[in-house]
Structure 1
């Protein structure tokens, strides 16, 4: 046979083989059309998964137990009481409640227009006795039910701005302001009455540290009277919430409106779990605040890296950026959505529904304390996957973190495990085809499976721990050992 013809035939075969492979730089990724394509590896029949409950790593997950303008009005506390046992069974160990006291908007208030810090649905003011969420009795029942199910209850605390007081002449502003809070003007409880001297400016303080809301009724925390009523006195807001109502910790609203020492002193006085809303995507700013106060902080740096990588830029290389969990895992409270982001019309402030589960897969496998948004967990299209991710988080999401590979449409991360806990490997792909990639694991000669249930592929690692894992099209997988 003509040698030139044979040479040409071999060239055609080589071109065909190369054309079937991915064009990724490393050459290790394959876009398979079936399981016969890729690196040959034995696939045993029906490998047995490990029992994740045997690997309880002592962590948990927080539920944000509300969304903006929750319904039904006056029935929210009872609604949550019914949810608590199921949340506990799923692995939730804390629940963050909306502001629980009476706001100026009465039965329509989400509590952020705080008026009476001690009216949990006891007093007829602002057009209603109950808060939007229900009565005090119903709230106390909810807290009791949560504790019976080993769930801590976190209070949302607004100590920056007030709303709903009476009108009075304010000599420091030379006009009438709504700064009178007493038994007949927005503070029926009679506890922590306020007037213009308690807000900026006053005879002691001439400046406002940066409030963007209710400027004329921004509390001055430098005043002994304000400090006493907020956290120092035996019947202060902090001590009443903890000792009388049974709250276990705090979510501090809009901390840009007051100095960090306020949070530090509050925690030194009463303790409890704490997370602050410092809406800043720079990890350095979050780190400084955590170091100064000792509080946890919502990891907005991680939130925006996920939003950029999955939505805005569609480039997973953003996940190599700085995030709070990398340096302060014990203080980083990670999240993919909250009541503000979900009602925000700015598309750069929320993660699209189609990318939500990939974002949850990220925060529930990485270090940090994850938060689940109520509307996502109660979404029937999401709930089963979120339960699976919570189970993975509470068991094998442990150990040192290492990014094994990242490019514009792939992200592979390893948790090394500890002791007998095997850890895991997360594989996120935004590619429209199934992807496979060979990576190094800590597992030698072990058959793996995807504990998210998104892939039925069962690769086996070699004697050096090298293994080829798979991610479904525009999805994720989470790999660990089998029995």
Structure 2
């Protein structure tokens, strides 16, 4: 069967190909009399699988200071149109570093940028009014807003004598000392050690200001009472869920109690690459967890060991797909040049292709999405994820530089086949699909034209050098 291909322009920096025709349709001769059929992609918008992706809306030390909420408000329309359904915001309240704080040094849990303390009224991200405008706009587009919650360590309090440490500590939080809102005032009795708890782990962040969650007073202010942090954030500010920071700093029952009280989407930052540890935490808390096991397997497979067979290892999505929050980068992994905590830029899109086709709930990192070399490919991957990434996952083939995975689809959805190639050459491999006597196309547009499967569903698929392709059925016009 002779095929005449129409090529198109696709602006992916690391594997670009360009011509004057942007149409992915293919003209195929059907017999020797030159009867032609037009082979076109299916409309992905017709295959809504109910999925979405979360956008991490910040990176370390965002600029310009004081304008971040307004900046994000201007991006909501684009994110919503692209298929994002949740926004993970940075810590929204006043930190000890004032206008320079990224929020991970929490001081006043109820100062969203309205009290003059730590040298500023606004937070690094802006005013309370600007935050409320952002949340309202996100909700208007059907996007949930996720609050970053830091309930382990505190910072920025006043100095007081602490009899349980026999020295002065910065554990006094009141209207004059780092807690201008006057809500959830604290002193040395609310931090470890105290009159009811002797626990002290010096390895924790700000160990001297490590909140004692066993105290009824602390529990009431964090999640139980009507004006608690959890209920104020949910009922007054309009947050829809929670990202729990550094959960190694407190026991799993704390997250479970919080969720039992107020509910909502949740994901915990348990920084551990052991899938069994992550799985146990999910079972203990009921919370979703960032899938560090998958992140590190991707880093090892594509960077450290350059061996895709690593992807056969344990990952949280394989046992708890509904609780696995996958990612290819975040504010911490991109903060420094630690190669063991970062996926190299040249492999980033392949890592996103993996998490956006496999089970789990993917997260997109702000700086990657706003990277002009990545933006359009990421939009296409999100569209594929929200439409065709459904059904059981099955690895069809894997070796050191090739990885092929099939999503089985459903009765009403064809599913997909992912092909990752980390070699320096184009790769082709015959695979067995569920698509018999069908035209197939690569929906990433990294491979042009169409192919056909035989009566047994076998097809010769292709992936570009150091790249990826995602195949599914095409339609005949």
Tell me the TM-score normalised to structure 2 length. Answer: 0.92
| Counterpart in the other structure of 2:268 | 276
- Deviation of 1:345 after TM superposition, in Å, equals 2.8
* Residue 208 of structure 1: how far off its partner (Å): 3.1
What is the number of residues matched between the two proteins? 443
The aligned residue for residue 347 of structure 1 is: 339
Whether the 8 Å contact between 1:99 and 1:157 is mirrored in structure 2 is: yes
Secondary structure of residue in 2 paired with 1:206: coil
CA distance in 1, matches of 2:227, 2:324: 31
Partner residue in 1 for 2:278: 286
Equivalent residue, structure 1, for 2:68: 76
Q: In structure 2, how many angstroms separate the alpha carbons of the residues matched to 1:302 and 1:185? A: 42
What is the alpha-carbon distance in structure 2 between the residues aligned to residue 214 and residue 258 of structure 1?
13
What displacement does 1:123 show? Answer: 0.2
State the match for 1:323 in structure 2: 315
Deviation at 1:47, TM superposition (A): 1.5
CA pair 418-210 structure 1, distance change in 2 beyond 3 A: farther
CA contact (8 A) 2:172 2:188 kept: yes
Is residue 412 of structure 1 aligned with residue 404 of structure 2? yes
Aligned pairs for 1:401-480 (under 5 A) are: 401-480=393-472
Q: 2:113 aligns with which of 97, 121, 130?
A: 121
Counterpart Cα distance in 2 of 1:420 and 1:256: 43
Unmatched segments (≥5 aa) in structure 2 = 1-27, 31-35
Give the whole-Å Cα distance in 2 for the aligned partners of 1:427 and 1:459: 15
Q: CA deviation at 1:419?
A: 1.2
Q: How far 1:468 moved relative to its partner?
A: 0.7
CA contact (8 A) 1:442 1:465 kept: yes
SS at match of 1:394: helix
Cα distance, 1:428 vs structure 2: 0.1
Work out whether 1:64 is the aligned partner of 2:56: yes
Quick one: distance in 1 between partners of 2:163 and 2:453? 76
Over residues 163-207 of structure 1, what are the superposed CA-to-partner deviations in whole Å (9 max), with x where a residue is unaligned?
000000000000000000000000000000000000000011101
Alignment of 1:66-215 (within 5 A): 66-208=58-200, 212-215=204-207
- Taking the aligned partners of 2:351 and 2:304, their CA distance within structure 1 comes to 14
Distance in 2 separating the partners of 1:305 and 1:458: 32
Whether the 8 Å contact between 1:300 and 1:334 is mirrored in structure 2 is yes
Counterpart-to-counterpart distance in 1, 2:38 and 2:381: 22
Residues 280-330 of structure 1 show CA distances to partners (whole Å, capped at 9, x for unaligned) of 000000000001100000000000000000000000000000000001000
Secondary structure of the 2:450 match is: coil
Task: Give, in whole Å, the separation in 2 of the partners of 1:210 and 1:265.
Answer: 25
Shift of 1:420: 1.4
Partners of 1:186 and 1:459 in 2: how far apart?
65
Q: 1:270 to 1:380 in 2, by over 3 A?
A: same
* 8 Å Cα contact 1:210/1:256 also seen in 2: no
1:392 to 379, 384, 387: 384
Q: Secondary structure at the match of 2:194?
A: coil
State the shift of 1:346 in Å.
1.4
Cα 1:104–1:356 shift into 2, 3 Å: same
State the alpha-carbon separation in 2 of the partners of residues 459 and 232 from structure 1.
Answer: 59
Counterpart in 2 of 1:10? Answer: none
1:200-219 per-residue CA deviation (whole Å, 9 max, x = no partner) reads 00011101367521010000
1:30 aligns with none
Q: Distance in 1 between matches of 2:106 and 2:209?
A: 11
1:366 lines up with 2:358 in the alignment: yes
**Bigger strand fraction:** 2
User: Which residue is equivalent to 1:8?
Assistant: none
Q: CA deviation at 1:458?
A: 1.8
Paired residue secondary structure (2:419): strand
DSSP-derived class of the 1:47 partner: strand
Root-mean-square deviation (CA, aligned residues, Å) is: 1.2
Instruction: Compute the displacement of 1:459 (Å).
Output: 1.5
Residue by residue, what CA displacement relative to the aligned partner does 1:29-49 show, whole Å, maximum 9, x if unpaired?
Answer: xxxxxxxxxxxx999875111
- Matches of 2:187 and 2:217, distance apart in 1: 11
What corresponds to 1:305 in structure 2?
297
Measure the CA separation in 2 of the matches of 1:240 and 1:359.
37
Per-residue Cα deviation, 1:375-407 (whole angstroms, up to 9, x for no partner): 000111100000000000000000000000000
TM-score (normalizing by structure 1): 0.91
Matched, 1:296 2:259: no
Q: Distance in 1 between matches of 2:287 and 2:203?
A: 21
Q: Tell me how far apart the structure 2 counterparts of residues 124 and 238 of structure 1 sit (CA, whole Å).
A: 23
8 Å CA contact retained: 1:199, 1:216: yes
| Cα separation, 2, equivalents of 1:160 and 1:453 | 46
Query: How far, CA to CA, are the matches of 1:309 and 1:68 in structure 2?
Result: 26
Give distance in 1, aligned partners of 2:37 and 2:57: 42
Instruction: Provide the C-alpha distance between the structure 1 equivalents of 2:183 and 2:320, rounded to a whole number of angstroms.
Output: 38
Shift of 1:83: 0.2
Contact 2:29 2:37 in 1 (8 A): no
Contact between 1:210 and 1:257, CA under 8 Å: does it hold in 2? no
